[in-house]
Chain A
Amino acid sequence: MSWTCEQTEARLSDYLDGLLQPPEQSAFNLHVNTCERCAPLVAGVAHALGGLYALEQVEAPAQLENAILTATLGAPSWRNLRRWLKSLQSPRFVYSMASVAATIVVILTASGFSFTKPKLADLHPATIYHHADRQAHLYYARSAKFVSDLRVVYEIQTRLNENEQNPATREQTVPQDSPGKQPGRTDKTNPSTPKQQNRADEIGRNLRVLAAQFPALSGSIGERRMP
């Protein structure tokens, strides 16, 4: 069965795109081969389509991308600035800057720089050195005192432990004049300076007084001391 001109024209694109079924294809061919109007039409459309397919992509003007970016994101310099600011938001950069800032604060604090009353003179190298030296000595002295205090506490704890374990010899362990005329020696194993020994004696006496007055406290101290 052959198609009419209207049918052929309506299905022309399907024919050119290869979308006709075999029977439709036969009907289409049959009509086109015998129709004086449709034959040149099909040839003309096929030619036009060939011309369309032959059209190549044209290159966009070189400045177009930049013009678009300028219209949307701003001028190149501003875009670069924004990109740079964006890079500052990376966690890596933030951590680095935080550590650098912390280091600067520590150094300035150690050098005696006052953040509440900042003075330009405080940033002079000689002043920074002077302050740093002073701070270093101060911290050294404090550390030495702290270590000394720790030793005293250790002495006290040792003495109290011994008293707990051997109540019978409690009086004997109370430091008297250094045996063997060795100042600072509280027993035969732990040497200490006379000054420390005196402080230990004083603290030990105070603790004993406290323990006598507050038995409950004595018990809790004892419990804590037990391993």
Chain B
Amino acid sequence: MEQDAQLVQQCLQGDGSAWEELVRRHTRRIFNICYRFTGNRTESEDLSQDVFLRVYRTLGSYRSAHGGFATWMTSVTRNLLIDHYRRTKRDRITDSLDDKMPVVENKESAGRRPDEQALLGELSGQVQSALTRLSPELREAVILRDLQQLEYSEIQQVLAVPEGTVKSRINRGRIELARILQHMGVRPS
């Protein structure tokens, strides 16, 4: 991702088109992290915007020698998500595991039979719902590892915790997710 570092340099020199390119390259990824963390499109949209706003304001503090731009940006995203989680904690309704129906995603995937599509769509909705019930520290670890496919070292950098803690959180997050799904009545066939 040397190109990102180059674009950042151009941005710092006042090149607006370089910033536009950075936004184009990372919007989808940041939106996905936010969406998987919150499970809400509107909130994710606002959070993504906040992420880019903060990145834009603090672009000068990015050092390419300390890691890739994507990792740095993920770190900013994670911090904002945790802030958001703490801020909305009081307002959030702490539903029991059973009284909230899982949200089924409405998306089309080419090449799948309609029945497979329906099953996958249902499972995706259930997994997303279960994901939002994980504690934030386990949720972020699982999202970064299993959805964003980040390496342990990158997750360690984003979360600013030792690699052992990263591995432990991912493991605990997966086990917890399986238990939540089991409580929701989703069992392996």
Contacts and interface: CB of A to CB of B under 8 A. Distances in A.
Interface of A: 9-10, 12-14, 16, 41, 43-49, 51-61, 64-65, 67-69, 71-73, 79, 82-83, 86
B35 A58 contact: yes
Interface stretch (B64-72, B77-85, B121-129, B155-163): B121-129
Contacts of B146: 49, 52-53
Given A41-B175, A49-B174, A65-B24, A55 B124 contact: yes
Contacts of B105: 58
B124 A65 contact: no
Contact of A54 (B36, B124, B178): B124
Contacts of B74: none
B49 interface: yes
B174 A45 contact: yes
Interface of B: 14-17, 19-20, 23-24, 27-28, 31-32, 35-36, 41, 45, 48-49, 52-53, 56, 105, 107, 109, 120, 123-124, 126-128, 130-131, 142, 146-147, 167-168, 170-171, 174-175, 177-179, 181-182, 186-188
A132 to B, nearest CB: 44
27 contacts: A10-B171, A13-B167, A13-B170, A13-B174, A44-B181, A47-B178, A49-B174, A51-B181, A51-B186, A52-B142, A52-B177, A54-B124, A55-B127, A56-B107, A57-B28, A58-B31, A58-B35, A58-B107, A60-B28, A60-B31, A61-B41, A68-B49, A68-B53, A72-B23, A73-B20, A83-B16, A86-B15
A82 B18 CA distance: 13
Given A55-B147, A71-B52, 16 more contacts: A9-B171, A14-B167, A47-B186, A48-B178, A54-B127, A57-B32, A60-B28, A60-B45, A64-B31, A67-B45, A72-B23, A72-B53, A73-B19, A73-B20, A86-B14, A86-B15
Contacts of A61: 31, 41, 45
A47 B177 CA distance: 10
A64 B142 contact: no
Nearest to A46: B188
B174 A48 contact: yes
Given A47-B181, A52-B146, A71 B124 contact: no
A168 to B, nearest CB: 79
Contacts of B20: 69, 73
